Structure 1
Amino acid sequence: MPTFYYILVILLFLFSAFPRIPSQHWVFRVPDFGKIQVTIITFLVFLMGFVIKSSLLYFWYFQGFLLLLFIYHGLILVKYTPLYRIRKHVSGKNSSGKIHFISANIYQFNTDYESFIRLINTCKPDMFLTMESNSGWENALQVLEKDYPYHHKVTLENTYGMHFYSKIYIEESKTHFFVADDIPSIEAHLKTDDGYRFVFFEVHPPPPSPTEEETSKERDGDLLCTAKRVIQINKPVIVVGDFNNVAWSKSSILFRKTSELIDPRIGRAFVSTFHAKYKLFRFPIDLMFHSEDIFIEELKTLENFGSDHLPVYCKFFIDHKNTEQEEQIETADSEERKEAEEMIEEGKNEDGEREAVVRED
């Protein structure tokens, strides 16, 4: 038992230290995904220490280290819980009507089309977006086009296809390929019936992992290109998608500062989405950020429809005259802007090895 305890302490140290190392290799980036689990396990191992009661002198140093490690992770994660108090906002006379949408990584090889269509018909969102949607999914979703007459489709078979469907009028839309010609992002400009305009971005950069991209260079570059584009737009903006990243990572924070957007998870919840089948090993990688004149009323996951990601539901309103969220905006300093530019160039120069057509193993 004492040996097992010491092995766990060493592993917890490595999983905590690796994300602090300034390398974009997946070995150092992936441990950040499991910060919630690492925090819980740290506390459990700390309690285990009182059970084994090792007689070794340095045992109490290990216990002290675990306590400090738990506090370190806890101070980061508490921001993404209701324990971190933020001001709540209600719509007023200057607000738009309530707008709600669903964001879903559908998993390209999931063919349970009916479950997803049933989810849309039940929730009746004003908009919904899909990631990993290929021609099969596009054909299946045609039955919804009567209710969602406005859409933007990027049909790919490489697990990076994406589709955006809307009841709200799309004034214009475009597809960006910021760092690679097979990794799209959608930028859609919408106008509501009550005259409010806003911009919706859909993103899905590739993940750093042993089975996909060796580094996070393309992911980080793609997200920071989106951030630079966002800052040029003088309209309310929402950026949504499978970021293949977590909100507390260095690159996510740099994205938030560069784009000058707000993370709605702060003061609410983790909203963990992946993996849908394993609740204890679920990470919040389907993220969302918004500008100061967009106010989030509800943000949550919905039931699984057969994908490896849970869908995300959000309800919001727009209020141009409410400035109460300005205090939540952080801006990148000169060093951070320089770092963002370097990461963009690295992302564009990275040669991702992806197949044009990906088949399930």
Structure 2
Amino acid sequence: MINTVASIFIIGLSGLLAFLTLVPFSKIPHGLVRAPAFVRLQMLATALVLLPFAWVLTSDGWRIFSLLCLVVVIAVCTASVLKFTPLWPKQSKSAEAALMTDTDRHIHMLAANVKMSNREYDHLIALARREQPDVLAALETDQRWIDALAVLEPDYIHRYDVPHDTGYGMMLYSKLPLKDVQIRDLVTKGVPSIKATVTLRSGDEICLYIVHPEPPVAHEKTTGRDSEIALAGLEAIDGPLPAIIAGDLNDVAWSTTTRRFQRVTGLLDPRVGRGFYNTFNAYVPVFRWPLDHLFHDARFRFVQMQRMPKIGSDHFPISFKLVLAHRPAGEAPTPEEGETEDVTEMIVEEQARDRDPVGTDWEDEK
């Protein structure tokens, strides 16, 4: 009886894992379809553990079915995440020795989704004072967070605050000069982004985008999130300046959306060939994945990337150091036929939708 129950459980779980692994490839832009892509690492680990039990506890045709399902899960999940390990060539090229020493061309950025209801302000303040980034970006900031972080103002001459009590607030502090700063709802009303021109100590100018699109949810399409990520990228490559896009993209590095974003923009991901740098969920070690990202123009070189200690949020902060080079290096995938046109059409359609952003009540304090 025990073996029968175990066999049924293994068969059912194997089939479910295979379904959840393959369904995101349908490219249907809906939270229920896209969300399983987040847990590729967890599904890979589960399939590897389940494989010997499927061999021992199932029989006949069901054994073949279970093993086939598990092999598919292992193969697909491994192929998805392998590029974010040191086994894969680095997409973002490391800085040469001369650039490493040319610190006037460096930019050090610290990005943190603070979780609006988190009131442990001192953790982020202490981290910023210790790390002394050139640029500090904080997401999910309401007015209480803005007021608390005001103690950092002596270190940061240039400051732009966008307080929201919906979980979509953001702020940008910079030691480096900022100009042409734009605070806009790129796609969905109530979901702001920041665009700014940053002047490095060398005098070179770069373009910085801070974005925090909507998360995928079971009852809503993901086209709002997908459009915002894509629009920021298309704007970045249309501009004359080397660009950086950073923030909580509410998407994993190996997803359909992120891979398409890289194809249509040519922006590089420093995670490729280096590691996962999982930033969410800081509370649950076995359920973590990379949600906080930085993508950059090929004119930058990689210096350092580091996940920082907890600050009381469900996200870990993440630190990036890049240096502006004199010529491009590195190669991102190129667009598939008609892909840029499809993305542009999706953006136009999504901008025309009249709706409230999702998840605006998630951070309500009781």
Asked if Structure 1 and Structure 2 have the same fold, meaning a TM-score greater than 0.5 normalized by the shorter chain, the answer is yes
Letter in 2 for 1:329: A
209, 214, 218: which one pairs with 1:206?
214
1:28 aligned to 16, 30, 33, which one?
33
Alignment of 1:22-171 (within 5 A): 22-52=27-57, 54-86=58-90, 88-92=94-98, 96-171=104-179
Matches within 5 A, 1:318-357: 318-321=324-327, 323-325=328-330, 328-354=331-357
Deviations 1:31-78 (A, max 9, x none): 1111111111111111322342x3323413421331233122212211
**Using the alignment, how far apart are the partners of 1:119 and 1:99 within structure 2?**
17
Aligned to 1:57, the other structure's residue is in SS state helix
Contact 2:30 2:220 in 1 (8 A): yes
Instruction: Provide Cα deviations, 1:1-50, integer angstroms capped at 9, x if missing partner.
Output: 11111121011012112202232221101111111111111111113223
In the alignment, which of 248, 268, 272 is matched to residue 266 of structure 1? 272
Letter in 2 for 1:350: R
TM-score by length of 2: 0.92
How many angstroms apart in 2 are the aligned matches of 1:248 and 1:227?
17
Alpha-carbon distance in structure 2 between the residues aligned to 1:59 and 1:73? 21
Quick one: which amino acid aligns to residue 120 of structure 1?
A: A
Moved more, 114-123 or 334-343: 334-343
Aligned to 1:313: 319
- The answer on whether the counterparts of 2:137 and 2:210 sit within 8 Å (CA) in structure 1 is yes
Greater shift, 266-275 or 340-349, is seen at: 340-349
Q: 1:181 aligns with which of 189, 193, 211?
A: 189
Paired residue secondary structure (1:63):
helix
- Quickly say closer, same or farther: Cα 1:160–1:83, change in 2 above 3 A: same
Query: Cα RMSD (Å) of the superposition?
Result: 1.9
Cα offset for 1:356? 7.2
Equivalent position amino acid for 2:83 in 1: K
CA contact (8 A) 2:267 2:332 kept: yes
**Partners of 1:360 and 1:12 in 2: CA distance:** 36
Query: Offset of 1:204 from its aligned partner?
Result: 0.3
Distance 1:356 1:107 in 2: 12
The whole-number CA distance in structure 1 between the counterparts of 2:18 and 2:353 is 30
**What is the SS of the residue equivalent to 1:74?**
helix
| Structure 1 gaps, min length 5 | none
What is the letter of the counterpart of residue 344 of structure 2? E
Aligned to 1:298, what secondary structure does the other structure show? Answer: strand
Range that drifts further, 346-355 or 260-269: 346-355
CA distance in 1, matches of 2:162, 2:187: 16
Please state how far the C-alpha of 1:300 moved relative to its aligned partner.
Answer: 2.1
SS in 2 for 1:271: coil
> Alpha-carbon deviation of 1:243?
0.4
- Contact 2:140-2:168 within 8 A present in 1 as well: yes
Compared with structure 1, are the counterparts of its residues 143 and 11 closer, same or farther at alpha carbon in structure 2 (3 Å cutoff)?
A: same
Query: Counterparts of 2:11 and 2:26 in 1: how far apart (Å)?
Result: 23
Cα deviation 1:283-311 (Å, max 9, x = unaligned) = 21111110001112211211111001110
Q: Is 2:257 aligned against 1:251? A: yes
Does the 8 Å CA contact 1:177/1:185 hold for their aligned counterparts? Answer: yes
Change (3 A) 1:49 1:334: closer
TM-score if structure 1 supplies the norm length? Answer: 0.93
For 2:320 and 2:33, how far apart are their aligned partners in 1? 31
